[in-house]
Amino acid sequence: MSGGKLVIFSAPSGAGKTTIVRHLLSLGLNFGFSISATTRKPRGAEQNGKEYYFLSAEEFKEKVDRDEFLEWEEVYPGCCYGTLKSEVDRIFKNGQNILFDIDVVGGSNIKKVYGDKALAVFIQAPSVDELEKRLMNRSTDHPEIIQERIAKAELEMSFAHLFDIVIVNDKLTDALAETEEKVRKFLEA
Ligand code: ADP
Ligand code: 5GP
C-alpha cells in the first residue's frame, strides 16, 4: 500500500474507535498513527509518545501560540486535544498513510482540508445507553467523567452526516470486517 492518504476515525467516546483503530494498525496497511497532544492525564497503561503526547496546560498553550497544531479542540471542559503539524509531516515523510482517532469537530475539519485524499469514518454505537455501558465496563474513567462524555454524545452523533461513511459498531466482528473492507478499497483506489 503506497502512502500519502489519510483515514480519520471520529465518534462519541465509548463507540469503539480505539478498538477499531488498533485492529487496522495490525493489518500491515502502511499506516502511521497520528499521536495527538492532550492535557488530560494518562489512563491505565498509556505511555507518553505512544497513545498521546501528554502535556501540561501551559505546554499545550505554547504550542497553540506557536501555531504548531493542524487543529485543536477543548473536547471536554478543561481538556484540550490537538493534532500536531509535525506528526503529519513525520508520517508522510516515512511514506506512510495516516490514521487519526480524533473528535467529531477535528475529524470534519481535517476532512475539509484534505478532501479526496482523506476518508472520514464515523463510528456509531447502537444507542447512548450502550455507550454508557461500554464506558462503565471499560473502567478507565471516574463516573463524573463518564457522565460528561455521555452528555456530549447526542451532539456528537449529529455530526455523522459530515463523514464519508458511518459504521455501526454493534457486533464488533462485523464492524471490524466492514471497516477493513472500506479502508482497503479507499487505499487501493
Ligand atoms: P473509544 O475509543 O471510541 O472511546 P473504545 O474502543 O475504548 O472506544 O471502546 C470502549 C469500550 O467498549 C472498550 O472497553 C471496548 O473493549 C468495548 N467495545 C468496543 N466495541 C464493542 C462492541 N461492539 N461491543 C461491546 N463492547 C465493545
Ligand atoms: P480520550 O480521552 O478518550 O482518549 O479521547 C477523547 C476524545 O478526544 C475522543 O473523541 C478522541 O477521538 C478525541 N481526540 C483525540 N485526539 C484528538 C485530536 O488531536 N484532536 C481532536 N480534535 N480530538 C482528539
Dump pLDDT digits (tens) for 88-113. 999 999 999 999 999 999 999 999 99
- 72 touches 80 (CB < 8 A): yes
Tell me the residue type at 104: V
Which phi and psi angles does 41 have, rounded to 5°? -80, 155
Distance between Cα 98 and ligand 2 center (Å): 15
Ligand nearest to the CA of 139: 1
Confidence of residue 32 (pLDDT cuts 50, 70, 90): very high
Q: Which atom of ligand 2 is nearest to the CA of 17?
A: 12
User: 3-state SS of the chain?
Assistant: CCCCCEEEEECCCCCCHHHHHHHHHCCCCCEEECCEEECCCCCCCCCECCCEEECCHHHHHHHHHCCCEEEEEEEECCEEEEEEHHHHHHHHHCCCEEEEECCHHHHHHHHHHHHHHEEEEEEECCCHHHHHHHHHHHCCCCHHHHHHHHHHHHHHHCCHHHCCEEEECCCHHHHHHHHHHHHHHHHHC
Which pLDDT score, from 0 to 100, does residue 1 have? 59
Q: Whose CA is nearest to atom 15 of ligand 2?
A: 102
Is 67 inside any structural domain?
A: yes
In terms of C-beta density within 10 A (0-12 exposed, 13-18 middle, 19 or more buried), how is residue 139 classed? exposed
Cα gap 90→95, rounded to integer Å: 9
User: Which of ligand 2's atoms lies nearest the C-alpha of 13?
Assistant: 10
Residue 70 counted as domain residue: yes
CB of 34 sitting under 6 A from ligand 2: no
75 lines ligand 2 (CB under 6 A): yes
Q: What is the CATH number of the domain that holds 98?
A: 3.40.50.300
Report the chain's mean pLDDT, rounded to a whole number: 95
Number of domains the chain is built from? 1
Ligand in closest contact with the CA of 171: 1
1: in domain: no
Q: Is the pLDDT of residue 188 over 70?
A: yes
Tens digit of each residue's pLDDT (9 = 90 or more) over 51-82:
999 999 999 999 999 999 999 999 988 999 99
| 51 CB near ligand 2 (under 6 Å) | no
Ligand 2 atom having least distance to the Cα of 102: 12
User: Within a domain: residue 101?
Assistant: yes
Please choose, from the candidates 33, 36, 49, 130, the residue with its C-alpha nearest in 3D space to the C-alpha of residue 79: 36
Q: Which residue has the cell 479542540?
A: 73
For 122, the domain range is: 6-188
In a domain, 182, yes or no: yes
- Ligand 2 site, residue 46, Cβ cutoff 6 A: no
Give me ligand 2 centre to Cα 81, in Å: 6
